[in-house]
C-alpha cells in the first residue's frame, strides 16, 4: 500500500534547477535511503515530502489518516518548550488512545464497544504500550538527556538533537523522515539508535553519511542527481547500500560500453554523410535523420567525483607529539588524568568517547592551545599542524568560494602549481559556482571547501575534529583514501564507525573517571578488545597503553594450548589479508571492472568471516 506519492515535482532557485519533474513513491513499511552529492537537493527533497517546503510544480498525495514525523538536521522547537512538554506532544496520540480505552472500559456495552476496545489495545501496543512515562524517561535516559523539566532552548545543540530524536521515536508514525540523525551522537548511541529504528514498524526515509547506519536500515536506495548530470533526476536501486554500490558500478560500466558503441556508430555515420550528394541519393532520408539526431544527442559522461588533494609538507621527525602524565581539570571536574601518548609518522589516532568526555579538550592540550594541569607535551621539531575545527568558524560567509579556498590564482600542489579554477572544478565547484558567496553553500559544500583549504596549508599533521558531518558519501570515500595515503600523522575525532574502520590505526578511548586508554587497531578491533560493563571485575588496561595480550589458559589441552599460542599470529595474518583485499578493491582501475569487483568482494567477505571466526575461537580458548 502506497503511503506517499510525489509526482512531477520541480524546483528552481533563480537560474539553478534542482528538480525537474521527479517522482517519489514510498510504500508501507519500506525503508528508503536518499544519497547524492552535497548540494544535489537531498534535504530539500526531504522538506518537500514532509510538507515543509512547496515545490514550483507537482503534487503530493498521502494515504488517508497517515501520520508522519520529520526530523531535520537542525530541529526547531516552539518558544518555551521543555523536554517534558515535547515528550507530551510526541505521545499525544497514545495518550488519547489510553484515555478513550479507560472511558470505554468503564462503560462497556455491546459487541461494537468490544471491537473498538480490541482496536484500541492494538493501537496502544503499536504506539509504545501502557506505561508511557516510564518508557519516555527510559528512552531519554538512554539518550543521556536527564533534565526532564529544562527548557529546550537552554540545552546544547547535541542535547536538543537528542530530545528531537526521542520525540520522533515516541511518536511512532507511519512514516519517519530523518535528515542526518546521527550528527552529534557518539558511536555507541548511533549503534543503539540503529537498533531502535530497525524495530519500528513504520516506513523510514533517511539521509545519513553513516554507511553502517545506512546499510543496516534501508532496503532501497534513491540516488539524487542534478538535472544537468548523466543520470539526471532520481534513480532507484533495490537493496542495501552495499548492493546499491554494486548496481551503480555495473550501471556505469554498461553506460560506458554503450557510449563507446555510440561513438563508433557516430564515426561511421559522419563518414557516410561526408560522402556528399552521391551517398544521399543512394541512402534513405530516414538514415540521414537518424544520423543527425544521433549527433545532437548528449552522450554519457562518467559523473565527476570531487577530488581532495594535499599540498606538499615537510618531513616529520621520528616523534610527532609526545605527552607524559598529562592531566586536565576544570575546577573540581577531572577531564582526563595521567595520559601518556606518543604519536609517530604514519599513525592515525582516533579519539573516541561520549559527547562532553573531553576529546576536543585533549586535542587542544596536545596542540598547546591549552596548558595541561599536570604533565608535559612536546611537539617534534618539524611538526606543522593544520587543525580542522568542528565549529567551521574559519570560513567568511561574505567571501566568494574561490577566495575562500585560496588567495591567489595559482594553487601549489607538490612540485607544481595548478589554476585555482581548475583545482576548485576538480573539487566539485564548477566555474559558475566559484563566484558564489560562501553563505549560499550547503553544510556539506562548506565542509568540503574548508577541508580543501586546510589541505593546502602544507601541514604534516592533520587534526580533524568531526570532519565527516554533512559530507556526502562520495566525498567521504575520497577523504578516506587521502588520509590512508597521507605521509604525515593524523589526529581524528569522529563517531563514524565505518570511517574509523577505514582510517584509524589506533583508538584513544575515553572510558570515564578521567581514564583514557589506547587500543591498537580500528573500530572493529576496538569493539573486540574493549572491556564490557558485565566484565567490570576484570582488570582494566593502563591508561594510554595498548590493550593487554591474551593470557594463556593453563587448563587447556595440549592441542588447544598450541592453537591458542599461535592465535595472535593467525589473527594478524587474517587481518593483513583482509586489509590487502580492501586496498585492492579501492584501486581506481578496479572500480570499472564489474567481474573483478564481484570476485574481490566475495574474497573480502570470506576474509572478514575468517577474522571473526578466529576472534570467536580466541575468546572460546580463553584469550
Task: Give 272 or 405, the one with higher predicted confidence.
Answer: 405
Say if residues 218 and 33 touch (Cβ distance below 8 Å): yes
The pLDDT of residue 571 is: 81
Q: b vs e for 61-72, b when ≥16 Cβ sit within 10 Å of the residue's Cβ?
A: ebbeebebbbbb
Task: Give 292 or 76, the one with higher predicted confidence.
Answer: 76
Q: pTM of the predicted model, to two decimals?
A: 0.70
Query: What CA–CA distance (Å, rounded) separates 42 from 220?
Result: 15
Q: At what angle do helices 157-171 and 187-199 cross, to 10 degrees?
A: 20
Quote the percentage of the chain above a pLDDT of 90: 29
Say if residues 190 and 210 touch (Cβ distance below 8 Å): yes
Nearest partner of 609 among 567, 563, 568, 575, judged by Cα:
575
SS3 237: strand
Query: What CA–CA distance (Å, rounded) separates 81 from 79?
Result: 6
The pLDDT of residue 592 is: 54
Q: Using pLDDT thresholds of 50, 70 and 90, give the confidence band for residue 315.
A: confident
Specify the length of the chain in residues.
623
Res 243 pLDDT > 70: yes
The pLDDT of residue 621 is: 74
CA 11 to chain centre: 26
The pLDDT of residue 171 is: 83
The pLDDT of residue 278 is: 53
Q: C-alpha cell of 162? A: 537528542
SS3 490: strand
The pLDDT of residue 508 is: 95
Q: Using pLDDT thresholds of 50, 70 and 90, give the confidence band for residue 539.
A: very low
Pick the range with the lowest mean pLDDT from 21-30, 90-99, 233-242, 267-276. 90-99
Pick the range with the lowest mean pLDDT from 52-61, 96-105, 128-137, 480-489. 128-137
SS3 242: helix
Give the count of alpha carbons within 13 A of 455, CB side only: 21
Average pLDDT over residues 318-337: 90
Query: What CA–CA distance (Å, rounded) separates 94 from 92?
Result: 5
Please provide the DSSP assignment of 28-82 as one string.
TT-EEEEE--TTSSHHHHHHHHTTSS--SEEEEEE-TT--EEEE-SS----TT-B
Q: In this structure, which long-range contacts are made by residues 614-621, counting pairs with CB atoms below 8 Å and at least 24 apart in sequence?
A: 614/567, 614/570, 614/571, 614/574, 615/528, 615/571, 617/563, 617/567, 618/550, 618/564, 618/567, 618/571, 621/553, 621/556, 621/560, 621/563, 621/564, 621/567
Q: Tell me: the pLDDT tens digits for 57-93?
A: 999 999 998 889 999 988 888 888 888 778 776 666 6
Q: Using pLDDT thresholds of 50, 70 and 90, give the confidence band for residue 7.
A: very high
Nearest partner of 491 among 481, 474, 506, 480, judged by Cα:
506
Q: Tell me: the pLDDT tens digits for 358-396?
A: 998 999 999 999 999 999 999 999 999 999 875 555 788
Average pLDDT over residues 213-234: 84
Task: Give 26 or 248, the one with higher predicted confidence.
Answer: 26
Please provide the DSSP assignment of 188-222 as one string.
HHHHHHHHHHHH--SEEEEE-S-HHHHHHH-SEEE
- Mean pLDDT value across the chain: 81
Q: Which CATH superfamily is domain 321-535 in?
A: P-loop containing nucleotide triphosphate hydrolases (3.40.50.300)
Who contacts 295 (Cβ-Cβ below 8 Å, separation ≥6)? 266, 269, 270
Nearest partner of 185 among 204, 205, 166, judged by Cα:
166
Task: Give 253 or 40, the one with higher predicted confidence.
Answer: 40
Are 2-98+134-243 and 321-535 the same fold in CATH? yes
Q: C-alpha cell of 278? A: 552521391
Who contacts 438 (Cβ-Cβ below 8 Å, separation ≥6)? 395, 396, 397, 398, 399, 400, 401, 404, 446, 449
Average pLDDT over residues 448-458: 87
The pLDDT of residue 555 is: 55
CA 144 to chain centre: 22
SS3 184: coil
Query: What CA–CA distance (Å, rounded) separates 182 from 69?
Result: 17
The pLDDT of residue 552 is: 41
Average pLDDT over residues 565-579: 79
Question: CA distances (Å), 153 to each of 157, 186, 403, 414, in order?
Answer: 9, 22, 36, 48
The pLDDT of residue 474 is: 85
Q: Please classify residue 504 by burial: count the beta carbons closer than 10 Å to its beta carbon, then call 0-12 exposed, 13-18 middle and 19+ buried.
A: buried
Give the angle subtended at the CA of 188 by the CAs of 545 and 622, to the nearest 5°. 55
Q: Tell me: the pLDDT tens digits for 501-538?
A: 999 999 999 998 899 999 999 998 898 888 765 433 33
Give the angle subtended at the CA of 476 by the CAs of 471 and 478, to the nearest 5°. 130
Q: C-alpha cell of 507? A: 583508538
Tell me the domain boundaries of the chain. Answer: 2-98+134-243, 250-296, 321-535, 558-620
Q: Tell me: the pLDDT tens digits for 164-199?
A: 998 888 888 889 999 999 988 888 889 999 999 998
Average pLDDT over residues 426-434: 85
Under CATH, which architecture does the 2-98+134-243 domain have?
3-Layer(aba) Sandwich (3.40)
Average pLDDT over residues 417-431: 87
Q: Using pLDDT thresholds of 50, 70 and 90, give the confidence band for residue 440.
A: confident
SS3 398: coil
The pLDDT of residue 455 is: 87
State the Rg of the chain over Cα.
Answer: 28
Amino acid at each position: 500500500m502506497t503511503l506517499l506519492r510525489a509526482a512531477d515535482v520541480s524546483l528552481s532557485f533563480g537560474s539553478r534547477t534542482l528538480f525537474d519533474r521527479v517522482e517519489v513513491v514510498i510504500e508501507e513499511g519500506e525503508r528508503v535511503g536518499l544519497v547524492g552529492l552535497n548540494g544535489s537537493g537531498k534535504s530539500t527533497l526531504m522538506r518537500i515530502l514532509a510538507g515543509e517546503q512547496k515545490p514550483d510544480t507537482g503534487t503530493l498525495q498521502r494515504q488517508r489518516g497517515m501520520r508522519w514525523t520529520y526530523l531535520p538536521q537542525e530541529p526547531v522547537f516552539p518558544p518555551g518548550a521543555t523536554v517534558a512538554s515535547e515528550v507530551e506532544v510526541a505521545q499525544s496520540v497514545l495518550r488519547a488512545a489510553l484515555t478513550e480505552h479507560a472511558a470505554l472500559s468503564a462503560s462497556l456495552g455491546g459487541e461494537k464497544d468490544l471491537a473498538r476496545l480490541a482496536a484500541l489495545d492494538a493501537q496502544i501496543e503499536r504506539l509504545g504500550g501502557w506505561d508511557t512515562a516510564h518508557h519516555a524517561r527510559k528512552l531519554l535516559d538512554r539518550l543521556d538527556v536527564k533534565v526532564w523539566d529544562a527548557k529546550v532552548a537552554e540545552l546544547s545543540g547535541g542535547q536538543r538533537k537528542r530530545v528531537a530524536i526521542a520525540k520522533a521515536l515516541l511518536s511512532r508514525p507511519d512514516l519517519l523522515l530523518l535528515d542526518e540523525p546521527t550528527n552529534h551522537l557518539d558511536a555507541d548511541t548511533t549503534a543503539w539508535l540503529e537498533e531502535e529504528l530497525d524495530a519500528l514498524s513504520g516506513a523510514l526515509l533517511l539521509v545519513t553519511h553513516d554507511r553502517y547506519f545506512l546499510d543496516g536500515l534501508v532496503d532501497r536506495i534513491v540516488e539524487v542527481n542534478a538535472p544537468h548530470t548523466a543520470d539526471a533526476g532520481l534513480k532507484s536501486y533495490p537493496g542495501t547500500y552495499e548492493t546499491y554500490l554494486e548496481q551503480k558500478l555495473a550501471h556505469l560500466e554498461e553506460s560506458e560500453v554503450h557510449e563507446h558503441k555510440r561513438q563508433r556508430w557516430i564515426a561511421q555515420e559522419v563518414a557516410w554523410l561526408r560522402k556528399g550528394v552521391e551517398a544521399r541519393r543512394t541512402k534513405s532520408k530516414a538514415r540521414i535523420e537518424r544520423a543527425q539526431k544521433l549527433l545532437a544527442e548528449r552522450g554519457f559522461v562518467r559523473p565527476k567525483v570531487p577530488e581532495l588533494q594535499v599540498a606538499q609538507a615537510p618531513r616529520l621527525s621520528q616523534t610527532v607529539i609526545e605527552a607524559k602524565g598529562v592531566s586536565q581539570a576544570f575546577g573540581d571536574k577531572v577531564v582526563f588524568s595521567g595520559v601518556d601518548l606518543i604519536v609517530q609518522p604514519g599513525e592515525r589516532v582516533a579519539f573516541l568517547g561520549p559527547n562532553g568526555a573531553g576529546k576536543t579538550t585533549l586535542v587542544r592540550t596536545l596542540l598547546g592551545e591549552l596548558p595541561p594541569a599536570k604533565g608535559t607535551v612536546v611537539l617534534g621539531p618539524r611538526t606543522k599542524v593544520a587543525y580542522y575545527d568542528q565549529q567551521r568558524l574559519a570560513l567568511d560567509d561574505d567571501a566568494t568560494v574561490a577566495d575562500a579556498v585560496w588567495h591567489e590564482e595559482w594553487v601549489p600542489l607538490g612540485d607544481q602549481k595548478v589554476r585555482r579554477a581548475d583545482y576548485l572544478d576538480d573539487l566539485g565547484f564548477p566555474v559558475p559556482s566559484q563566484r558564489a558567496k560562501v553563505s549560499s553553500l550547503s553544510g556539506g559544500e562548506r565542509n568540503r571547501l574548508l577541508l580543501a583549504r586546510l589541505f593546502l596549508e602544507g601541514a604534516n599533521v592533520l587534526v580533524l575534529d568531526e570532519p565527516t558531518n554533512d559530507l556526502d558519501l562520495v566525498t567521504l570515500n575520497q577523504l578516506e583514501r587521502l588520509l590512508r595515503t597521507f605521509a604525515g600523522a593524523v589526529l581524528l575525532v569522529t563517531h563514524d564507525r565505518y570511517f574509523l574502520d577505514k582510517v584509524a590505526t589506533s583508538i584513544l578511548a575515553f572510558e570515564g573517571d578521567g581514564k583514557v586508554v589506547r587500543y591498537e587497531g580500528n573500530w572493529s578491533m576496538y569493539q573486540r578488545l574493549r572491556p564490557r560493563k558485565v566484565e567490570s571485575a576484570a582488570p582494566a588496561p593502563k591508561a594510554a597503553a595498548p590493550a593487554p595480550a591474551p593470557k594463556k589458559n593453563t587448563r587447556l589441552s595440549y592441542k588447544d594450548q598450541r592453537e591458542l599460542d599461535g592465535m595472535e599470529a593467525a589473527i594478524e595474518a587474517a587481518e593483513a589479508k583482509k586489509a590487502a583485499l580492501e586496498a585492492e578493491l579501492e584501486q581506481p582501475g578496479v572500480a570499472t571492472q564489474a567481474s573483478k569487483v564481484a570476485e574481490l568482494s566475495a574474497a573480502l567477505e570470506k576474509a572478514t568471516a575468517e577474522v571473526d571466526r578466529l576472534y570467536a575461537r580466541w575468546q572460546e580458548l580463553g584469550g
